A and B are shown apart, each in its own frame.
Chain A
Amino acid sequence: MQSVWTLLSWGPEGWLDDIGYGVFITVLLAAATLPVGLIIGFMVSLAKQSNEPSLRLAGNIYTTIFRGLPELLTLFMIFFGAQIGIQRVMRLYDPAATVEVNAFVSGMIALGVVFSSYASEVFLSAFRAIPKGQYEGGYSIGLSSGQTMRLVVLPQLIRIALPGLANLWLILLKDTALVSAVGLTDILRQAGVAARVTKHAFLFFSVAGLIYLLLAIVSSFGIHAIERAVGRQEVQR
């Protein structure tokens, strides 16, 4: 029977290096999803606060679908659906083609659409908190609508949306665990492998849980730093 510390050591005997790789993958996936989700979410929120009813409708359909589906189902649909779809297209040219869809990319897409549908709601409520006079002031000093958005509205929008977005980042970090179900070697997958090999399931899944907790704590420090930096800008003006 190996001791707990041997099991948790770095190297061929222990599993810490494997779990460390899982942490890398988890953080990479979350970090790669974040900009995608933010950009799509911002664009969807722009559509949802527009004067044009058809744009609002399109944005609302997007949110309704991806907020209503379970994340795991979205992930499976993208993982298997993309595989079938791409394979169909490939078969038109090469009848023997088989396609393996990358788990990382499909995880990124699935988490990205879920994240963006929630983020669009956060941005939308932030847009509603900005008074109309800010836009009118921007136009009256001769800024174009793009400039008004970039120079006047966005800096305030970010400050208002930040707490909501920080919350979404923590949810995203937790949701990456789902990608282990389609075979990506993230924290949970590596812990599961270690548990199966060593028969110390409780130990390794507790370690996985603690690592997620640690990531959340580190993120909340980062979020505080960003909030302070953004807040300081406001004081200076």
Chain B
Amino acid sequence: MSVVATDAAEVERPPALPRGWPRHRILGYALVCLWGAFLAGIVAYLVLAWNGELFAKYAPSYMTGLGVTLLLVSISIVLGAILSVPIAYARMSKNRVLSGLAYAYVYFFRGTPLLAQTFLVYYGVGSFRPQLQAVALYLPVVSNWLAVPLGDYLPQLDIPLGITIARLTLWDFFREAFNCAIFAFSLNTAAYQAEILRGAIQSVPRGQWEGAASLGLHKLQTLWKIVLPQALIVALRPYGNEIILMIKGSAIVAIITVYDLMGITRLTYSRTFDFQSYLWAAIIYLVIVETLRHGIEWIERRITIHLHR
């Protein structure tokens, strides 16, 4: 019986289509070969243009630049996340004035280029110098350091010795390009994150709120225990995209003289006129972005495991 069945299956199976070489397959192979040649060309260029002296001189500053980029992005994302909560709240509020103001904020920061916002802060803040200098804080500041050398391969150890009270004004804050960038980026990402948060919270059906209310949970408990856990699953992917966009967008701080990864790259290029300085930066950025993208996909698969069957 079983022999007959396998025979029948063998007979009834349609013959495999001939693979052949249709036009789109030729085109596809040609394009892949082109990409392969392009990438191999870049690798060959990097190998041929290899200059150990140059690498030893600039590789540490690339790492410093990468650190500046990551620091800038992480501070901005965290500050933006904190700032986005009241904005999202105002945007969802029934008060017309409040929601209008929040909408205007979001519209302005999403409708203008990040570069223009950064310029507005960095160059524009000079117009308010007297006002900014009037706002002062008295803070304890370390006034002298004892530098202890730890040998050739370790950074020197700095021990704080004296502390004085310094008068720090807002102007001292905004004079640093890095602080201006953090200020502009935080305001910008707060607008985007507020929209992500609002969209995610509103994607949770109303019945969830009503069900929680009928169980006697108050609003804050409902938000914290019922709505946010569901909303954050929806928000994960947009949040990840926002982080990636910030990492890519942070390259513009090189224009306002912050030496992040892009800034170091421009500096290296202007000193050496060696095009590989840009290629190394491109490789580093691509690796960061791809790692993040796959990491977020992995997290999403993990936290939605209960939704799959």
Contacts and interface: CB of A to CB of B under 8 A. Distances in A.
A67 B289 CA distance: 9
Contacts of A195: 123-124
B124 A181 contact: no
B230 interface: no
Contact of B285 (A56, A69, A81): A69
Nearest to B248: A70
A202 B120 contact: yes
Interface string A189-202: 00110010000111
Interface in B232-275: 247-252, 254-255, 262, 265-266, 269, 275
A216 interface: yes
Contacts of A135: none
Interface in B277-295: 278-279, 281-282, 285-286, 289-290, 293
B108 interface: yes
Interface string A47-67: 100101111111001101101
A84 interface: yes
A205 B123 contact: yes
A84 B123 contact: no
A50 B216 CA distance: 54
Contacts of A67: 289
B278 A175 contact: no
Contact of B127 (A54, A55, A80, A202): A202
A209 B286 contact: no
Interface string B87-128: 000000000000000000001100111111101100111111
Contacts of A56: 28
A4 to B, nearest CB: 12
B27 A81 contact: no
Contact of A201 (B35, B126, B265): B126
A205 B119 contact: yes
Interface residues of A, number: 49
Interface in B179-228: none
Nearest to B69: A70
Nearest to B244: A68
A73 B125 CA distance: 27
Contacts of B278: 73, 76-77, 80-81
B262 A70 contact: yes
A160 B142 CA distance: 60
Given A54-B31, A80-B275, A71 B248 contact: yes
Nearest to A76: B278
A58 B31 contact: yes
B237 to A, nearest CB: 13
Given A188-B119, A205-B116, A205-B119, A72 B251 contact: yes
Nearest to B292: A68
B249 A70 contact: yes
Nearest to B117: A209
A55 B23 CA distance: 11
A210 to B, nearest CB: 8
Nearest to B274: A84
B25 A52 contact: yes
A180 interface: yes
Contacts of B308: none
Contacts of A217: 111
A201 to B, nearest CB: 4
A61 B40 CA distance: 14
Contact of A55 (B24, B252, B255): B24
Interface in B31-45: 31-32, 34-35
B275 A206 contact: no
A68 B113 CA distance: 19
A159 interface: no
Interface of A: 47, 50, 52-58, 61-62, 64-65, 67-73, 76-77, 80-81, 84, 170, 174-178, 180-181, 188, 191-192, 195, 200-203, 205-206, 208-209, 212-213, 216-217
15 contacts: A54-B31, A55-B28, A57-B32, A58-B34, A69-B285, A77-B278, A84-B275, A178-B252, A181-B255, A192-B119, A195-B124, A202-B127, A205-B116, A213-B108, A216-B111
Given A47-B28, A176-B113, A212-B112, 20 more contacts: A57-B28, A58-B34, A58-B35, A64-B290, A67-B289, A68-B285, A68-B290, A69-B285, A72-B255, A84-B275, A174-B111, A191-B116, A201-B126, A205-B120, A205-B124, A206-B120, A208-B116, A209-B120, A213-B107, A216-B112
